[in-house]
């Protein structure tokens, strides 16, 4: 058996590039598409009451997501290293920004989302199987299985994720097909255009509707965490981001078209399970159970992607001496950071079992979008450095930069501003947690410097 490549200085096995373009594309889509696509359309319909406006914000959100994929494609081409956003912030701005991102990712962003999705999966799983056990047991067993699969290696984890993403696409295609071809009395999609006069009230309503839309489109950045495990990452990561995000935009807009076409705006706003309502109308109880199965598959796929990608950030932090050294352990057999994978899953289980995930989700979005905007600013720093130290082939470059990059940054920080304005208490809690990370960073930095001088 051949031994994995070793870093001569650290004598640790290196992360191996085993994922191709297809697996990377499925990873991008899997990081975005969870249960939300089947349920979130009703939230937007509660804030806007015209099919044209509803579809417009989903298209606009898709355009912003595509701009974001451009930014992360160039960042990934310039810094194709494990850790993604952590590395961009560390190398471009200051190591403290990278640490704070990893700190928030472990405590709130990744694990809080995993806990919420795991509970959602448990509810649908028990509804489908009628097994006599608690949601907590399903959460623990599910995360344990996904952790074990991803500890077997990035290739088995990536292939498992690809299979689940294909099944998710099939479930969404079934929903869209049913809504397009089996609805006997479709509701109008092109009128009314506006639900109120052009005014400040209309602008604030559009802004409020964009919040759940942009949140639904988030997640493409997690594939950048595993850049060093993608073959020819400088080329394939950017292609995967653009193909994956564009495909998700098509899926999301299609789902909203069939929800509006089948239910109409009023009925859509009145149901918290729009996908199930559509299938109930067009295919009865059997259709509703089929889409419930699709939602269960979608949630497990999102969890699998989260288990695979997030731990690479904690691994990179530990490699830099900014976290427990044991978290940087790589299995010589599978070449994956097994300690980091287990750590993230255990913390997600703790959050799920304590029921704190709902509170965490309330302040997750402003933190996530703060770091989205910060990461995009790294592109200006890297471009400025390039002028001083030209490189032969920078790889992918963002079309329309700096205008398109600034639009993405502004969109992200408008989401943060909106959250601070509407939900000041919850948003403030999230930023307090980030600030607590500052003395923690100082501790690890002092420890790292002390070890370097010994």
* Angle ∠(301,210,193) on CA atoms, nearest 5: 115
If you average pLDDT over residues 42-67, what whole number do you get?
A: 90
If you average pLDDT over residues 112-136, what whole number do you get?
A: 86
Name residue, tokens 């079934």. Answer: 174
* Angle ∠(5,9,10) on CA atoms, nearest 5: 75
Q: What is the rounded distance in angstroms from the CA atom of residue 135 to the CA atom of residue 147?
A: 18
pLDDT tier for residue 9 given thresholds of 50, 70 and 90: very low
Q: What is the rounded distance in angstroms from the CA atom of residue 91 to the CA atom of residue 95?
A: 7
Tokens of 9: 């200085």
Q: Which residue would you say has higher pLDDT here, 406 or 2? A: 406
Q: Which stretch of 263-267, 361-365, 430-434 has the lowest confidence by average pLDDT?
A: 361-365
Tokens of 204: 């604030």
* Burial class, 7, CB count within 10 angstroms (exposed 0-12 / middle 13-18 / buried 19+): exposed
Of 50-54, 100-104, 211-215, 264-268, which has the strongest mean pLDDT? 100-104
Share of the chain above pLDDT 90, in %: 33
pLDDT of 422 > 80? The answer is no
CB distance 271 to 263 below 8 Å: yes
Q: What is the rounded distance in angstroms from the CA atom of residue 48 to the CA atom of residue 128?
A: 33
Q: What is the pLDDT of residues 199-249, one digit of tens each?
A: 777 887 787 788 788 878 888 888 888 888 888 888 888 899 999 999 999
241: left (phi over 0), alpha (psi -120 to 50) or beta: alpha
Beta strand ranges found along 66-171 (DSSP E): none
* Angle ∠(66,70,75) on CA atoms, nearest 5: 140
Tokens of 307: 């288990």
The four Cα atoms 314, 164, 27, 399 give a dihedral, to 10 degrees, of: -150
What are the φ and ψ backbone dihedral angles of 95, each rounded to 5 degrees?
-55, -30
Q: Which helix (H) or strand (E) holds 354?
A: helix 338-354
Q: What is the rounded distance in angstroms from the CA atom of residue 370 to the CA atom of residue 36?
A: 21
Name residue, tokens 């592109």. Answer: 379
CB distance 50 to 237 below 8 Å: no
If you average pLDDT over residues 99-107, what whole number do you get?
A: 95
On average, the pLDDT of the chain sits at: 85
Q: What is the pLDDT of residues 144-182, one digit of tens each?
A: 999 999 898 877 877 888 888 888 888 889 889 988 888
pLDDT tier for residue 68 given thresholds of 50, 70 and 90: very high
The per-residue pLDDT for 294 is 86
CB distance 401 to 379 below 8 Å: yes
Which domains does the chain possess? 21-388+399-453 (1.20.1740.10)
Q: What is the pLDDT of residues 72-99, one digit of tens each?
A: 999 988 888 888 899 999 999 999 999 9
CB distance 172 to 293 below 8 Å: no
Please report how many Cα atoms fall inside a 13 Å half-sphere around the Cα of residue 377, on the Cβ side.
Answer: 16
What are the φ and ψ backbone dihedral angles of 8, each rounded to 5 degrees?
-60, -35
pLDDT of 8 > 60? The answer is no
């Amino acid at each position: 058996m051949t031994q994995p490549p070793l870093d001569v200085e650290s004598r640790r096995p290196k992360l191996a590039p085993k994922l191709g373009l297809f697996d990377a594309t499925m990873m991008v889509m899997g990081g975005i598409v969870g249960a939300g696509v089947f349920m979130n359309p009703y939230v937007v319909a509660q804030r806007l009451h015209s099919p044209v406006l509803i579809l417009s914000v989903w298209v606009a959100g898709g355009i912003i997501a595509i701009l974001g994929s451009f930014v992360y494609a160039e960042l990934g081409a310039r810094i194709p290293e494990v850790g993604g956003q952590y590395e961009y912030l560390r190398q471009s701005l200051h190591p403290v920004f990278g640490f704070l991102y990893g700190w928030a990712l472990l405590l709130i962003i990744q694990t809080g989302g995993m806990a919420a999705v795991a509970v959602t999966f448990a509810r649908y799983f028990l509804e489908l199987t009628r097994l006599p056990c608690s949601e907590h047991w399903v959460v623990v067993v599910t995360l344990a299985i996904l952790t074990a699969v991803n500890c077997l290696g990035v290739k088995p984890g990536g292939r498992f994720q690809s299979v689940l993403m294909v099944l998710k696409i099939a479930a969404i295609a079934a929903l869209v097909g049913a809504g397009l071809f089996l609805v006997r009395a479709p509701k109008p999609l092109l009128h009314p255009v506006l639900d109120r006069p052009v005014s400040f009230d209309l602008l604030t309503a559009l802004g409020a509707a964009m919040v759940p839309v942009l949140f639904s489109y988030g997640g493409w950045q997690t594939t950048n965490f595993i850049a060093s495990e993608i073959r020819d990452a400088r080329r394939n990561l950017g292609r995967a981001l653009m193909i994956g995000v564009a495909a998700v935009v098509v899926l999301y807009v299609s789902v909203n078209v069939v929800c509006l076409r089948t239910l109409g705006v009023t009925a859509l706003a009145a149901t918290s399970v729009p996908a199930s309502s559509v299938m109930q109308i067009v295919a009865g109880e059997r259709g509703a159970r089929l889409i419930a199965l699709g939602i269960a598959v979608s949630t497990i796929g999102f969890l699998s992607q989260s288990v695979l990608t997030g731990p690479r950030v904690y691994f990179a932090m530990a490699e830099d001496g900014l976290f427990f050294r044991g978290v940087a352990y790589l299995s010589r057999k599978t070449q994956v950071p097994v300690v980091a994978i287990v750590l993230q899953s255990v913390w997600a289980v703790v959050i799920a079992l304590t029921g704190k995930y709902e509170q965490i989700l309330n302040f997750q979005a402003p933190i996530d979008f703060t770091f989205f905007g910060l990461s995009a600013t790294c592109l200006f720093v890297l471009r400025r450095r390039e002028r001083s130290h030209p490189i032969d082939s920078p790889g992918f470059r963002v079309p329309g930069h700096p205008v398109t990059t600034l639009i993405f940054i502004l969109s992200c920080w408008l989401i943060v501003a909106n959250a601070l304005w509407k939900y000041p208490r919850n948003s403030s809690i999230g930023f307090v947690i980030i600030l607590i990370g500052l003395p923690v960073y100082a501790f690890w930095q002092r420890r790292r410097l002390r070890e370097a001088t010994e």
